[in-house]
Structure 1
């Protein structure tokens, strides 16, 4: 253990971040730029081009969000067993790059869904091994800082992507909307392909440096972690797809370009908050910040439910960005701290899988409420679930 910590201390660092964490941050920047070039277009593509209704649209978005998580615990476990991360990271990003470009050729909701599932499978393959490699490449007690940097880079890509998408749509102005969407899907594959080159050349394996322990108590057996996973499940039931926020903007009369600007604002808030939140979580305690995050989630949902004008809608997107910055950053570091060196991929993958199982019905319920009542009812439901998660989180102790 001391040798491994010593090698981390002597490892090349950039901006106080280990080489692997920096490179993986750059990879996530490019991949998210690729993804977010098209993400704001997807809701309109579903409803306007593929002609899905509210319930089917919400269900598809929920399925897409959820399916990747079902693979994360399996590939986290496999990467733990073989002490290799890089091959899973590369394969996952490769599947995502291919599937996004191939969306240009979809004609029906089911071929669209199959490619989005392939993209999510890619995410499922890479996420737990990548997060485990980030944890293994971090100094002791500074996992929050590392995950905060990674989420910041990931989200800066998500800020850049919609802006690039807006620019490309502007250049294609006058073109039939469906054709412009398809060209945008093709362009989105380029940054994804560049990220593969960076992984192949610059990411370094660390798993072999962690000696496998024959005997050891898994963190998955602890009461603390099981209580936390129960909270994760409830919180996931209130985690609607980003598409609902864009549908809200559309309901208030904003154009597709306006929606992409709102989406960029959300991601800008996410990117600005993720690194300081991760850094701060190492100092004040990750459980406390996760608890606060659920309260902010409830406030964001209420803001979307009652937004009627531009200032209230902007406030909703800002709160949503802050909430996601907390809940997408701190729980990963929290799980990494609880896990032993021999099981980081498995434990982090378990978190992602529990989240993914319960986030799917969240969007189905939200779609049902939208179709049969109103979009505001969808957000009110999410607010209630996040308030429940907040109360439950108060019962989770700092440590067993």
Structure 2
């Protein structure tokens, strides 16, 4: 009998991610506009996003390993989504930079707490032959929320132009609905490990102890993150090209729709062919998009490039997690994915901060061309990994 791919656990986790991303993506396209309106520079935006990503990454490693040690996943999922739901609207309570920094960091901390346990639950609900599709389905649900969120933001700003702070407060509703949905999940216990609660950076030792194939993949994923700065710079690039706020949000929605449609089919390709060729193809498309944005002027240029950017995301994000899950045992999956995420997020801190400085020093075009060239070098490394 053919095994069921989309189980109750997979469906509920997808719904939770959809609602959470509705809340997050109501804010993401207007985030640079809001931050600039309260006094953040481009370099400051890059530092804020990089620091927030680093917080999420370090906590992913720590809480992912703690989840493995306890042999429990669900408490981390519920607590993590709860913190994120509360922290988002707090960014609009006060506009002092330190407050915005704390609220944004807390929101990313919630993401770090839940990610390892959630991804381990997804892997545990799949078989080795269906993992890429399960992760692809989850990314599709997540990204559907990412498409709906900006549409809701666009409608809100149509009726209430410039009311960014109230938009942040409105984002609390779908976030709270996501927390309620986590209460319907059932625990997936795995055998607990010895050692109790881990040290803050103890997860970093896992790279040395793990299978060499995982270690090589880990360095490849982190190297790519080191050049892949926040998507906020894509939105700022569109703003510099003269696009209106409405067009900026519209193209971002289009990218997410393409991503949502392609995530599950690309998961199917990764299950059939293996994750390496699919992931490698995504890197090549990424390089082409960054080069293309330096030359884009017509509306159809942006259409092709943002469709390609959705293809890149569908071919890499869920596929990378499925690739990791093939290289490590289930009992270590929270630590394995969390460790990679920690390295990626620290790399993003460097990438986003450097991107902000490079933008101000050399200009947007030089930044995007340099990113494309470096991504091709990473693709060359990935091509040498075992399939």
Cα displacement string for residues 225-244 of structure 1 (whole angstroms, at most 9, x for unaligned residues): 11111111211122121111
Change (3 A) 1:213 1:184: closer
Question: What is the CA–CA distance in structure 1 between the aligned matches of 2:15 and 2:210, rounded to whole Å?
Answer: 35
Check the 8 A contact 1:95/1:118 in 2, yes or no: yes
1:203 counterpart = 2:191: no
Q: 2:17 maps to which residue?
A: 28
Report which stretch shifted further, 295-304 or 142-151: 295-304
Distance in 2 of aligned mates of 1:380 and 1:365: 14
> Does the alignment pair 1:310 with 2:299?
yes
- Tell me the TM-score normalised to structure 1 length: 0.90
State which of 54, 59, 68 in structure 1 corresponds to 2:47: 59
- Secondary structure, in 3 states, of the residue corresponding to 1:396? coil
Contact persistence 2:23–2:172 (CA under 8 A)? yes
The C-alpha deviation readout for 1:322-381, integer Å capped at 9, x for no partner, is 112222110111111111122111111111111111111111111111101211112112
Partner of 1:46, secondary structure, is helix
Pairing partner for 2:266 from 268, 277, 285: 277
Shift of 1:63: 2.2
Q: Which runs of 5+ in 1 are unaligned?
A: 1-5
* Worse overlay, 34-43 or 236-245: 236-245
Report deviation, 1:97. 0.7
Structure-2 separation of matches of 1:342 and 1:78: 11
Q: Secondary structure at the match of 1:328?
A: helix
2: distance between equivalents of 1:378 and 1:108? 30
Deviates more, 1:219-228 or 1:234-243: 219-228
1:26-73 C-alpha deviation (Å, 9 max, x unpaired): 0000000000001111101111x2222222222222222332111111
- TM-score, length-scaled by structure 2: 0.93
1:121 paired to 2:109: yes
- In 2: Cα distance, 1:110 partner to 1:319 partner: 37
Q: Deviations over 1:237-264 (max 9, x none)?
A: 2212111111111111112121111110
Deviation of 1:212 (Å): 5.3
Q: How does 1:287-302 map to 2 (within 5 A)?
A: 287-302=276-291
SS in 1 for 2:91: helix
Deviates more, 1:23-32 or 1:300-309: 300-309
The residue that corresponds to 1:395 in the other structure is 384
Note if contact 2:211-2:328 (Cα within 8 Å) is conserved in structure 1: no
1:1-400 alignment, distance < 5 Å: 16-47=5-36, 49-173=37-161, 177=162, 180-200=163-183, 202-207=184-189, 210-211=190-191, 220-398=209-387
d(CA) in 2 for partners of 1:108, 1:320: 34
Residue by residue over 1:126-148, the C-alpha shift from the partner in whole angstroms, topping out at 9 and shown as x without a partner, is 00110001001112321101000
Q: 1:64 to 1:304 in 2, by over 3 A?
A: farther
Q: 1:156, CA displacement in angstroms?
A: 0.1
Q: CA RMSD in A?
A: 1.8
| Matched residue SS, 2:186 | coil
Say whether the 8 Å CA contact 2:221–2:344 is kept in structure 1: yes
Q: Across the two proteins, how many residue pairs are aligned to each other?
A: 375
Consecutive unaligned residues of structure 2, counting only runs of 5 or more, are 195-205
| Greater alpha carbon shift after TM alignment, 119-128 vs 289-298 | 289-298
Instruction: Extract structure 1 runs of 4+ deviating beyond 3 A.
Output: 210-214
Note if contact 2:22-2:148 (Cα within 8 Å) is conserved in structure 1. yes
